[in-house]
Amino acid sequence: MKPTEVNYLIVPGWNGSPENHWQSHWHRTLPGAQRVEQSDWQWPCLQRWVAQLEQDIRALPGQVVLIAHSLGCITLAHWASQAGKKDLASVCGALLVAPADVEREGCPLPLVSFAPVPLQQLPFPSVLVGSDSDHAASRERALEFAGAWGSEPIILQGAGHINVESGHRHWEEGFAYLDRLLSRGKEYEGLRCA
């Protein structure tokens, strides 16, 4: 797949993605990449976050690949569980990195309104990259999300929350998982962006 054949939409999580976060690097690196900008990063509102994601998906011409991190993954799952067929058809894949378990014990208060996590299968190909040392979701919970969403699971060793604090700034190796998603999309029945 040529990079120009797809629109990349970066979906940050709680507190957004700072300038030195890998999502910001990818935003600058991927051709024509766009980014979801929420009105309140500190106190997220489920309905507003989902509505903004939907608005941004609709604003892009053609097919979209979503690149989500943490609470962005959960926002994406909520959006997919209630979106119309036309909107869902515009998404040709999702890379889900370190999804946050908003039902975990000790979950930060601003995130609990995103529970329960939708566990319906996503109607587009997806790859979930988790970690066996992520404070926001255990390995088992990440695998549960992957199974429910129909995502290909990849669990990294000792990668933490795959963010700045765990040393993932440019995260160049992450592009291999994006390539894996795009290759998977080519085999997906009905995909129009292959």
Domain hosting 52: range is: 3-186
Decide if 67 contacts 23 (C-beta within 8 A): yes
Higher-scoring residue by pLDDT: 2, 142: 142
Higher-scoring residue by pLDDT: 7, 187: 7
Domain count, the chain: 1
Question: What's the predicted TM-score (pTM) here?
Answer: 0.93
High-pLDDT (> 70) share of the chain, %: 92
Average pLDDT, the chain: 92
In a domain, 191, yes or no: no
pLDDT computed for residue 169 by the predictor: 83
Cα–Cα dist 164/171, whole Å: 10
CA atoms within 13 A of residue 6's CA, in its CB half-sphere: 27
pLDDT computed for residue 186 by the predictor: 63
Higher-scoring residue by pLDDT: 185, 138: 138
Domain of residue 48, CATH code? 3.40.50.1820
In a domain, 193, yes or no: no
Burial 121-150 (b: 16+ CB within 10 A, else e): ebebbbbbbbbeebebbbbebbbbbbeebe
- Please list the residues that pair with 127 across neighbouring strands: 95, 152
pLDDT tens column, 126-162: 999 999 999 999 999 999 999 999 999 999 999 999 9
> Six-digit token pair at 30?
């991927």
pLDDT tens column, 53-73: 999 999 999 899 999 999 999
In a domain, 194, yes or no: no
In a domain, 158, yes or no: yes
